[in-house]
Amino acid sequence: MIGFRAMCRFVIFQAQLFIDFAKEFMSFSESKWLNSTCPHDCPSTCALEVESDEQNQIKRLRGRKKHPYTDGVICGKVANYAKRHHHPDRLTHPLKRVGPKGRGIGAFEKISWSEALDLTVTALKESVETHGLESVWPYFYAGTMGWVQRDGIERLRYVMGYSRQHSTICVGLSDAGWLVGAGEKRGVDAREISETDLLVVWGGNPVNTQINVIHRFQQACRQRGTKLVVIDPYKTDTAKRADLHLRLRPGTDGALACAVMHILFRDGLADWAYLKKYSDDPQGLAEHLQMRTPAWAASITGLSVSEIEQFAELYGSNPRSFLRLGYGFTRSRNGAPNMHAVSCLPIVTGAWQYPGGGALYSNSGMCPFDVSEIKGLDRLDPSKRVLDQSRIGPILCGHPPDLQGGPPIKALFIQNTNPMVVAPETDLVRQGFSRDDLFICVHEQFMTETAEMADVVLPATTFLEHDDCYSAGGHTFFQIAKAVVPPLGECRSNHWVIQELAIRLEAEHQGFLKSEWELIMGMLKKSGYQEKIPLEEKSFEIDLDLGFEKMHFLDGFCHEDRKFHFRADWTYWGQANQEMPTFPDHWEVRDHLSHEKPYRLITPPARWFLNSTFNEMSLSQDRLLSPRAWMHPSDLKQEGLENAGQIKVGNERGEIEISLEANEEVQPGLVVIEGLWANRAFPAAKGVNTLTSADVALPNGGAVFHDTTVWVRAS
């Protein structure tokens, strides 16, 4: 009997296998794989292969195996992109709000595209008639990093003469800190991580934010025993893999860098021949650092003297050392000088001379292309008001210094960003978005918390449905990607919407008359890249690597004197920056700790979100369950919170409620909240950016997301 049952089970199992195989086989025979590029705001800009079937259903996505950088490796978020693309909550029709703001899709009714565009144009015109051109603010960021779909909104802005945007939310501080030393935003080709002896991940968490760095490191580790150092205030998943993790206090990286350089000079580990040839004032730097001792840095960073000595010894004795600089350590009021200080390290050891040596912050400054037609730069009027993106809260609330004597904002047109979640000072952002006299049009893929506040919501295509081109921060490839499938429902690309608005606003520019493909090909031809364009209209790429000599700045750094500048001239961004430290230093301008606010809060990215994108995926919800705050057990004891499941975290800007978890790996005195969760994911519907500040950091603006002091209390 048992034998018979087992046999039946075996037969059924075999039949099932056969059916599965047949299904797979049929789906293979009907489906096709096409090349594409990940559009997200992530340094990896992965080369993708996308499978779709005859019904234009997206089936699978994978990293392109043959791509020299991607090497078949992509993150879990995008490997699952078919789910997001076909998500039941995807917006597929234009909508008009008929109910209260902030109440979800139920407060909207479907309208036609022509009605939606007419409503928007009427509101923009009315705003201009009553309050002038600068009362309209086209607002955007990097939902897609494609140059046409992201930057076309600039063309409309410039042609119309609307208020301009100073894009500060991400790279304001890190860019300034890198540029003041090296002069150009580029660094070592990340493929060289395979050739390094020591990888230093400084203020970044690539396990969460740039998986390819980890892939390269693993290869290097196998091949040559490469060591990993991670510098981060808590034990991230990247730090867990490190040979040495320096758990410093946030905003103290300048002090650590100074002490390391002090040791390098002290112990004869500085390469004087290199320093004399490639830097502006090495003698001055060495003298300045004499007082920046390991003991001095230990008192500022919270690290021990021996940890600092150990790192300096490791760094100094491995000239093939690769510094991978993240953004995290720059999201502080002293973030730019901290970036500058850290970028001085490979100059002192001369690491730049060696394969696998040097530093990479970002390669996105390698742009040999003429983007004037895409951005409409020929129509940029420098006299128009420039508004700080990160200060959208104060701006919408009519804060006079932000309005610079100009009119209030009466109409917002938003593409590619979700400021109700991602911008600092959420209470002010919400107050601004709630204004009855403010018209808001949001072009989105999902009903985000920003879209919920809009009067008109337009459905947007995903990168699989439109053409575009992409540069990368983390590698050297410029990728041009064709759409893989036609748009779902009535979704339309950003470019199409800009064109339709231009027609109705009578905005004239040749850029509005061309397709995405024509704009990209026009740009490549005008920039001397005609011969790189394939005959067939299909996805392709161009490697912009400049060769070893240039990528390592062996022909000099990018200032007039061809030297790296230890003496930072911050006045490039205005005379007001004279107070900033010239030589690398610890600049104590961070948010003040006090008796009332004894903790520092940092709010870095989670693995399962890309900023606030993927909030809508049940995948991310399942993995993380809910937002949570991590604190060291000693702090919980001190606050009497050992048994608290939930706490309140607050400061002068507001208060949030959140689940609490003790975490030994968090530096004492610190609260860590990972991930840009929607406000509604928190018990009191207030998210982390309720607490972060929209203060303008020197020298050129930049959001200070990891520089916030708070109190914590039982909930």
Ligand X SMILES: Nc1nc2c(c(=O)[nH]1)N[C@H]1C(S)=C(S)[C@@H](COP(=O)(O)OP(=O)(O)OC[C@H]3O[C@@H](n4cnc5c(=O)[nH]c(N)nc54)[C@H](O)[C@@H]3O)O[C@H]1N2
**Among ligand SF4, ligand X, Mo ion, none, what binds residue 329 when CB lies within 5 to 8 Å by partner kind?**
ligand X
Given a contact cutoff of 8 angstroms between Cβ atoms, the answer to whether 41 and 50 are in contact is no
Q: What angle do CA 492, 498, 502 make, to 5 degrees?
A: 135
Say which entry of ligand X, Mo ion, ligand SF4, none residue 144 contacts (CB below 5 to 8 A, set by partner kind): ligand X
Position 212 contacts ligand X (CB under 6 A): no
Q: How far is the CB of 232 from Mo ion (least distance, A)?
A: 17
Measure the CA–CA gap between 451 and 449, rounded to whole angstroms: 6
Could you say which residues in the range 316-355 bind ligand X, by CB under 6 A?
Answer: 326-329, 331-332
Q: Which is nearer to ligand X, 202 or 274 (CB)?
A: 202
Instruction: Select from 45, 52, 499, 612 the one that contacts ligand X (CB under 6 A).
Output: 612
CA–CA separation, 234 and 605 (whole Å): 13
Nearest CB to ligand X, comparing residues 63 and 350: 63
Give the nearer residue to ligand SF4 in terms of CB position, either 624 or 685: 624
Query: In this chain, which residue has its C-beta nearest to ligand X?
Result: 328
> Can you tell me whether residue 306 is helix, strand or coil?
helix
Residue 189: CB minimum distance to ligand SF4, A: 17
Rg of the chain's alpha carbons, rounded to an integer?
A: 26
Least Å distance between CB 362 and Mo ion? 11
* Of residues 39 and 138, the one with the C-beta less far from ligand SF4: 39
305: closest CA among 249, 235, 356, 256? 256
Kindly write out the interface string for residues 145-174 of this chain, putting x where it contacts Mo ion by CB under 5 A and - elsewhere.
-------------------------x----
* Residue 494 touches which of Mo ion, ligand SF4, ligand X, none (Cβ within 5-8 Å per kind): ligand X
- Closest contact distance (angstroms) between CB of 431 and Mo ion is 25
CB of 451 to ligand X, least distance (A): 8
Site size toward ligand X, by CB under 6 A:
58
Binding of ligand X by 232 (CB under 6 A): yes
124's tokens: 């923009």
User: Could you say whether residue 676 binds Mo ion (CB under 5 A)?
Assistant: no
Of 47-55, 155-163, 258-266, 610-618: span binding ligand X (CB under 6 A): 610-618
Q: What's the token pair of residue 678? A: 């929607």
Distance CA 322, CA 561 (A): 25
CB of 170 to Mo ion, least distance (A): 3
Partner from Mo ion, ligand SF4, ligand X, none contacting 211, C-beta within 5 to 8 A by type: ligand SF4
Nearest to 470, CA basis, from 458, 461, 484, 480: 480
* Residues in region 128-157 near ligand X by CB under 6 A: 141-144, 149
Quote the tokens at residue 42.
């992530």
Phi then psi for 147, rounded to 5 degrees? -70, -35
DSSP state of 578: G
Buried/exposed code over 444-459 (b: 16+ C-beta within 10 A; e: otherwise): bbbbbbbbbbbbbbbb
38 binds, among Mo ion, ligand X, ligand SF4, none (CB under 5 to 8 A by kind): ligand SF4
Look at residues 152, 32, 147, 125 and name the one whose alpha carbon lies nearest to residue 511: 152
Q: How far is the CB of 483 from ligand SF4 (least distance, A)?
A: 17
| Strand-pair category, 244-246 with 456-459 | unpaired
Nearest alpha carbon to residue 616 among 673, 677, 684: 677
Query: Closest CB to ligand SF4 among 79 and 119?
Result: 79
Residue 613, both tokens: 């994108």
Which of 69, 108, 158, 234 binds ligand X (CB under 6 A)? It is 234
Looking at the DSSP bridge assignments, the partners of residue 631 are 662, 671
Measured CA to CA, the distance from residue 473 to residue 213 in angstroms comes to: 12
Q: Between 80 and 372, whose beta carbon lies closer to ligand SF4? A: 80
Backbone CA torsion sign across 201, 205, 209, 211: positive
Residues 465-494 that bind ligand X (CB under 6 A): 494
C-beta of 61 vs 602, nearer to ligand X: 602
In the bound complex, what is the minimum distance in angstroms from residue 695's beta carbon to ligand X?
Answer: 14
Among 45, 163, 343, 417, the residue binding ligand X under the rule CB under 6 A is: 417
19 CB-near residues (< 8 Å, 6+ apart): none
Edge-to-edge strand list for the sheet holding 58-63: 32-37, 47-52, 58-63
**By C-beta, is 171 or 180 nearer to Mo ion?**
171
Which of residues 706, 709, 710, 712 is near ligand X by CB under 6 A?
706
Nearest residue to Mo ion, scored by beta-carbon proximity: 170
Instruction: State the binding partner of 135 from Mo ion, ligand X, ligand SF4, none, CB within 5 to 8 A by kind.
Output: none
- Smallest distance, ligand X to C-beta of residue 331, A: 5
Contact partner, 46, from ligand X, Mo ion, ligand SF4, none, Cβ < 5-8 Å per class? ligand SF4
Are 691 and 707 contacting, i.e. CB atoms less than 8 angstroms apart? no
Q: What does 78 interact with, of Mo ion, ligand SF4, ligand X, none (CB < 5 to 8 A by kind)?
A: ligand SF4
Partners of residue 412 on adjacent β-strands: 137, 440
- Least Å distance, CB 264 to ligand X, is 19
Contact segment (CB under 6 A) with ligand X among 29-37, 204-212, 498-506, 543-551 equals: 204-212
Nearest to 375 by CA among 151, 160, 159: 151
Binding residues (CB under 6 A) for ligand SF4: these are: 38, 40, 42, 44-46, 74-75, 77-78, 211, 610
End-to-end CA distance of the chain: 62
Please state, in angstroms and rounded to a whole number, the distance separating the CA atoms of residues 202 and 204: 6
User: Binding string, 663-682, against ligand X, x = CB under 6 A?
Assistant: -------------x------
Contact at 8 Å (CB) between 432 and 393?
A: yes
At a CB cut-off of 8 Å and minimum separation 6, what does 185 contact? 175, 178, 179, 361, 362, 363, 364, 365, 366
Closest CA to 394 of 432, 434, 439, 423: 432
Q: Of Mo ion, ligand SF4, ligand X, none, which one sits near residue 426, judging by CB under 5 to 8 A according to partner kind?
A: none
With residue 375 as reference, give the H or E element that holds it.
helix 372-375
Which of ligand SF4, ligand X, Mo ion, none does residue 143 bind (CB under 5 to 8 Å by kind)?
Answer: ligand X
User: Which CA distances in Å does 512 have to 159, 163, 589?
Assistant: 10, 20, 46
Contacts of 85 (CB under 8 A, 6+ apart): 58, 462, 464, 488
Shortest CB 707 distance to Mo ion, Å: 16
Cα three-residue angle 382-383-385, rounded to 5 degrees: 100
CB 584 within 8 A of CB 281: no
Closest CA to 108 of 436, 618, 459: 459
String marking each residue 50-89 x if it binds ligand X according to CB under 6 A: ----------------------------------------
Structure tokens belonging to residue 74: 């992509």
Residues that bind ligand X (CB under 6 A): 41-42, 141-144, 149, 169-170, 202-205, 208-209, 231-234, 236, 250-251, 253, 326-329, 331-332, 415-418, 422, 443-446, 448, 460, 494, 602-607, 609-613, 676, 688-689, 692, 705-706
Residues that bind Mo ion (CB under 5 A): 170
